[in-house]
């Protein structure tokens, strides 16, 4: 009996030890899981940001896991940001103006400059128009509240024309593309890749955005909720560093970037190469000059009553990540 009692006691002690070891292991695993950062939710249009980071070798790391959420256009992405459905995304210059006018809880945390030539005012093949003033009384299509819309307003203003002196037809790029190709429009304000597709079929560029530097800005925009969370804010800072490095890589390696982008978007490689030849994007600090450029957009849209009242755009800029950007050589 003593032998069996001793064996039983030993077995009980061993089981107790194993349970303690298992409990400790479970606690360590739970702590490790809880310590792992939650994925930063990135809103993406046409997979462009994801493709850029992957092509540049700046895709997610253990310290910056990313989850990707597709959106058809900037306004929908910013609405999701304001609602807290995503944390960050990249959009053009016009959507933040309308988001701010709508009271959206968003902040511009990064700026890429150098896409001025991405927008153009196009004329159909055979058009007799030689300068912008010749558009008086003619039918011009544009997507309302877009970067192309701002280019049209700026070009008309420079030519001494009021928007009411031309017949502006608001249409999505796809609808306008069909109307333009069938000869129902005298001009079309739009951006790449639609510019390249139209010029390949005989359209002519009347003006592009080169005279208006404000048309060349792309914005990285974060939700107010994400910026208020310390862990999310740290992730946003790391994302800004990676985006800046990735964009620098893309600008320095246009052919490799064109092939990656063509594969992602399924656009013809030559069209993508042409589009990228009109862009020289680089991330720049948020400073008064950048804010002043964006103010021009807001003022133009307010003057045409496209937004209900004038805005002070500096209210939606957040420059906390400026110091993380690579310094120019």
Q: What is the pLDDT of residues 235-251, one digit of tens each?
A: 999 999 999 999 999 99
Print burial letters for 33-65: b (CB count within 10 Å at least 16), e (below 16). eeeeeeebbbbbbbeebbbbbebbebebeeebe
Mark whether 197 and 320 lie in a shared domain.
no
Mark whether 54 and 168 lie in a shared domain.
no
Identify the pLDDT of residue 216: 85
For all residues of the chain together, what is the average pLDDT?
87
Identify the pLDDT of residue 297: 93
Domain annotation covers residue 231: yes
Helix (H/G/I), strand (E/B), else coil: 43: strand
Domain annotation covers residue 282: yes
Identify the pLDDT of residue 287: 95
Domain annotation covers residue 240: yes
**Contact indicator for 41, 73 with CB cutoff of 8 Å:** no
Mark whether 209 and 157 lie in a shared domain.
yes
- Check whether 270 has a pLDDT greater than 50: yes
What value, to the nearest 5°, has the Cα angle with vertex 29 and ends 24 and 32? 125
Q: What sections of the chain are H helices per DSSP?
A: 2-35, 48-55, 74-83, 95-101, 147-158, 173-181, 194-199, 224-228, 230-252, 254-265, 269-277, 288-303
Q: Per the confidence metrics, is the pTM higher than 0.85? A: no
Domain annotation covers residue 35: no
Domain annotation covers residue 30: no
Print burial letters for 226-244: b (CB count within 10 Å at least 16), e (below 16). bbeeeebbebbbebbbbbb
- Check whether 64 has a pLDDT greater than 80: yes
CB half-sphere exposure, 161, CA atoms < 13 A: 20
Q: How confident is the model at residue 36 (pLDDT cuts 50, 70, 90)?
A: low
- Check whether 21 has a pLDDT greater than 80: no
Identify the pLDDT of residue 329: 56
* Structural domain count, the chain: 2
Distance between CA 266 and CA 263 in Å, rounded?
Answer: 5
Domain annotation covers residue 185: yes
Mean pLDDT within 112-118 = 86
Mark whether 274 and 241 lie in a shared domain.
yes
Mark whether 103 and 227 lie in a shared domain.
yes
End-of-domain residue from the set 213, 243, 268? 213
Mark whether 80 and 164 lie in a shared domain.
no
Mark whether 223 and 313 lie in a shared domain.
yes
Torsion 164-312-290-96 (CA) sign: negative
End-of-domain residue from the set 182, 213, 244? 213
Mark whether 273 and 172 lie in a shared domain.
no
pLDDT digits (tens, 9 = 90+) for 283-317: 999 999 999 999 999 999 999 999 999 999 999 99
Mark whether 251 and 133 lie in a shared domain.
no
- Check whether 191 has a pLDDT greater than 90: no
Domain hosting residue 287, numbered range? 40-113+215-324
Q: How confident is the model at residue 147 (pLDDT cuts 50, 70, 90)?
A: confident
What CATH code is carried by the domain that includes residue 155?
3.40.190.10
Q: How far is CA 268 from the centre of its chain?
A: 22
Mark whether 219 and 101 lie in a shared domain.
yes
Domain annotation covers residue 89: yes
Mark whether 65 and 158 lie in a shared domain.
no
Mark whether 184 and 250 lie in a shared domain.
no
User: Which two three-digit tokens encode residue 79?
Assistant: 């609405």
Identify the pLDDT of residue 13: 52
Domain annotation covers residue 245: yes
Q: How confident is the model at residue 37 (pLDDT cuts 50, 70, 90)?
A: confident
């Amino acid at each position: 009996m003593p032998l069996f009692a001793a064996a039983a006691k030993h077995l009980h002690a061993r089981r107790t030890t194993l349970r303690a070891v298992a409990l400790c292991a479970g606690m360590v695993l739970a702590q490790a899981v809880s310590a792992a950062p939650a994925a930063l939710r990135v809103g993406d249009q046409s997979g462009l940001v994801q493709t850029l980071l992957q092509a540049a070798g700046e895709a997610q790391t253990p310290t910056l896991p990313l989850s990707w959420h597709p959106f058809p256009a900037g306004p929908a992405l910013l609405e999701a940001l304001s609602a807290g459905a995503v944390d960050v995304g990249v959009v053009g210059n016009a959507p933040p103006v309308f988001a701010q006018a709508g009271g959206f809880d968003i902040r511009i945390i990064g700026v890429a400059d150098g896409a001025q030539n991405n927008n153009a005012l196009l004329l159909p093949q055979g058009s007799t128009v030689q300068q912008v003033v010749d558009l008086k009384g003619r039918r011009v299509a544009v997507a309302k509240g877009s970067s192309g819309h701002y280019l049209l307003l700026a070009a008309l203003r420079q030519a001494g024309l009021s928007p009411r002196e031309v017949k502006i037809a608001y249409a999505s790029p796809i609808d306008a593309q069909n109307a333009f190709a069938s000869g129902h429009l005298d001009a079309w304000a739009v951006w790449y890749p639609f510019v390249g597709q139209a010029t390949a079929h005989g359209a002519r560029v009347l003006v592009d955005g080169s005279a208006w530097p404000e048309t060349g800005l792309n914005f990285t925009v974060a939700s107010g909720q994400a910026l208020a969370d310390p862990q999310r804010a740290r992730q946003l800072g790391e994302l800004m560093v990676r985006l800046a490095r990735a964009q620098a890589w893309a600008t320095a390696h246009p052919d490799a970037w064109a092939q990656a982008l063509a594969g992602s978007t399924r656009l013809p490689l030559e069209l993508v190469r042409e589009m990228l030849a009109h862009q020289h994007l680089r991330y720049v600090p948020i400073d008064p000059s950048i804010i002043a450029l964006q103010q021009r957009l807001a003022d133009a849209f307010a003057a045409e009553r496209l937004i209900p009242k004038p805005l002070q755009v500096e209210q939606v800029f957040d420059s906390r990540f400026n110091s993380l950007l690579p310094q120019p050589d």
